[in-house]
Chains A and B, each alone.
Chain A
Amino acid sequence: MTVRSGGTLRRRYRFSRLDVRVSPYLYVAPFFLLFAAFGVFPILYTAYASLFHWSLLESEHTYRGLSNYTDVLTDPLFWNAVYNTIGIFILATVPQLALALGIASLLTRRLRLRTGLRMGILVPNITSVAAVGIVFGLLFADRYGLINWVLDSVGIPIVEWRTHRWSSWAAISTMVDWRWTGYNALIYLAAMQAIPRDLYESAALDGAGPLRQFWQITVPMIRPTIVFTAIISTIGGMQLFTEPLLFGYGIPRGGADNEYQTLAMYIYQTTFTRNFDVGRGSAMSWLLFLFILVLALVNVALIRRGVKGEAR
């Protein structure tokens, strides 16, 4: 038999106290350290780099204060990219969330093959953005595209999708809508299932039809979720890059007259092609960050007020 000496016991006790005290921090530390290194630091460093004349081609970086920002704000191509980004974002988000709400309310019903239907709705989301860009690029091709073939066969003149602003926006928005509607529908479905059913029953007893129930019970009850999806869509939509890039054959210019060049594309073009202007690219990144922040707040305010108005 082993006899434990007092020393070992004390050491064990001390270890166990240390363990209880320190372990929690050790366990959450990797997340915070890695996020600080690869999430927070780059964003702060972007702010720093935006104050310099800084090119990847030169080793000297000279301080120039806020000049990068004034340059950017007086650059018509920057505003063009802002306009495109917001336009595509609205076209891509409003129908997407509306459709998702509709699909989700259908999915709350008692259905056969429930999992099969949900999977069918979600399948676009598991395909890669690159594949979507390539496939829709051909769907919206000028001469041999399926969409133009359909238009032509019903007697509508075909559209050169990449030459007009409206048509390129529509095509790119379609890609985004296609990929994300089902995902948002599932998120809404989860929120709708948490609504107590008695609410609907008493509303029905009071004579409210399905549409009124939808607007006066479902929508107000899942309002936080709608705000959440709107914010997530804003963050994604403001950074839209891959779909328009591949729609334009992989060229960041976004059309002959930059008809569909988004902000992310313009930042990429400025920073990683041409003059490799890191300073200017960083300034634009920060402005984009501010846009996202403002838009997220506007989203919250609009949806809060809109839904309250409906409920009254």
Chain B
Amino acid sequence: MSAPTVVRPAPARPAPARVPAKRRAPGARLWEASPLTYLALVFAIVLSVFPIVWSFIIASQDSDAIYDYPPRPGGLLLTNMRHALSNDDASLILGLVNSAIVATAVTVSVVFFSTLAGFAFAKLRFRGRNALLLATIATMMVPTQLGVIPLYLLMVKVGWTGQLQAVIVPFLVNGFGVFMMRQYASSAVPDELIEAARVDGCSTWRTYWNIVLPALRPAAAVLGLLTFMQTWNEFLWPFIVLNPNTPTVQLSLKILAAGYYNTDYAQVFAGTAISVIPLLIVFVLFGRQIISGIMEGSVKA
């Protein structure tokens, strides 16, 4: 990857001006959406949505109805959800609460440290800034999953296995967040504002807290959403370091599924539905922001 540029694409490209048909450039044909374009996209979306819809259908049936084809929705969604929630082995409610705690803690920390470091990288001058920024980008390329064995040994040593801090503390920062905030701060906070604050005797901390942080709010919100969803969905590390007594929601799901393979699919699928619904709500409410976050975050090279 080459060095990052400060350039970000405009979140929404202004729609090309409508040109009367006769004067349209020959290339314009490429930008027009034919019915076929819509058809292809709708097909792709149907494929994207179908497994989710299907899992909700299974979750709404009697568990024997799984053998009936084609699948038809039943009226037992809430009953099945109640069964899933009251399954003692899976402790889904505890899993949901734990995941909410973990994801919130990680999100607050990632957003805080990322805005702080992003501000420093974008707006403060210090020796070694470029080298440190490059190092930050390099950390995004490190497959940290390869470190889980020593991380586990470390957790054993400090006695954190089976405790929530084991899945919080290692994820308090990430390079992606720092880089994303740095890119946004470069363009969203004018240098003059920082200078003016300094002339007025503002300390660096107050400049961050009163000027930079409010300006970064939109991007910080997107980073927060992405971090929250990612933490909520984390599987491998909780699977290794936690145990069934302190599950996260993904671990509860795994226990639910493993215990009930071949038997009560309706309950298992009601459980997956419960775990996915919070994310779907977040996605419906903030989909636009999440999409712009992914698209902007990707422009790095």
Interface of A with B (CB < 8 Å)? 12, 15-16, 19-21, 23-25, 27-28, 30-32, 34-35, 38-43, 45-46, 49, 99, 102-103, 106-112, 115, 117-124, 126-132, 134-139, 144, 146, 149, 153, 178, 182-183, 186-187, 189-191, 193-194, 197, 200-205, 210, 213, 224-225, 227-228, 231, 235, 238-239, 241-242, 246, 249-250, 264, 267-268, 271-272, 278, 281-282, 285-286, 288-289, 292, 296
Q: A136 to B125: give the CA distance in the assembly, Å.
A: 51
Chain B residues near A182: list those with CB within 8 A.
44, 48
Note all chain A residues with C-beta closer than 8 A to B204: 19-20, 23-24, 27
Q: Which residues of A contact B37 (CB under 8 A)?
A: 106, 109, 111
Contact with A along B163-196 (1 / 0, CB 8 A): 0000001111101001000000000000000000
Instruction: Given the known inter-chain contacts A35-B173, A135-B269, A282-B149, please indicate yes or no for A109 contacting B33, CB distance below 8 A.
Output: yes
Q: Considering residues A135, A186, A193, which has the most beta carbons from chain B within 10 angstroms of its beta carbon? A: A135
Q: For the complex, would chain B's binding face be called helix, strand, loop or mixed by DSSP majority?
A: helix
**Shortest Cβ distance from residue A270 to the other chain B in the assembled complex, whole angstroms:** 10
- Chain B residues 255-301 with CB under 8 Å of chain A are 257-258, 261, 265, 268-269, 272, 275-276, 279-280, 282-283, 287-288, 290-291, 294-296, 298-301
Contact A123 B253 (CB under 8 A): no
Chain A hits for B126, CB < 8 A: 21, 24-25
Query: Which one of A20, A28, A187 has the highest number of Cβ atoms from chain B below 10 Å of its Cβ?
Result: A28
A134 touches B268 (CB 8 A): yes
Nearest-neighbor residue (CB-CB) of A153 within chain B: B69
Chain A residue, CB-CB nearest to B253? A130
Contact yes or no, A38 B169, CB < 8 A: yes
Residues of B with C-beta under 8 A to A41? 147, 150
What are 10 residue pairs bridging A and B, where the CB atoms are less than 8 Å apart in the complex?
A23-B205, A31-B117, A40-B142, A45-B150, A130-B253, A130-B254, A134-B257, A186-B298, A191-B298, A282-B149
Q: Are B295 and A189 in contact (CB under 8 A)?
A: yes
Q: Assess whether B21 is interfacial by the CB under 8 Å rule.
A: no
Interface centre among A42, A103, A107, A268 (most CB of B within 10 A): A42
CA distance A272 to B126 in the complex (A): 45
In angstroms, Cα B298 to Cα A225, docked, is 8
* Beta-carbon contact of A27 and B240 below 8 Å: no
- Of A32, A111, A197, A246, the residue contacting B132 (CB under 8 A) is A32
The answer to whether B250 touches A130 (Cβ under 8 A) is yes
A139→B173 CA distance, assembly (Å): 37
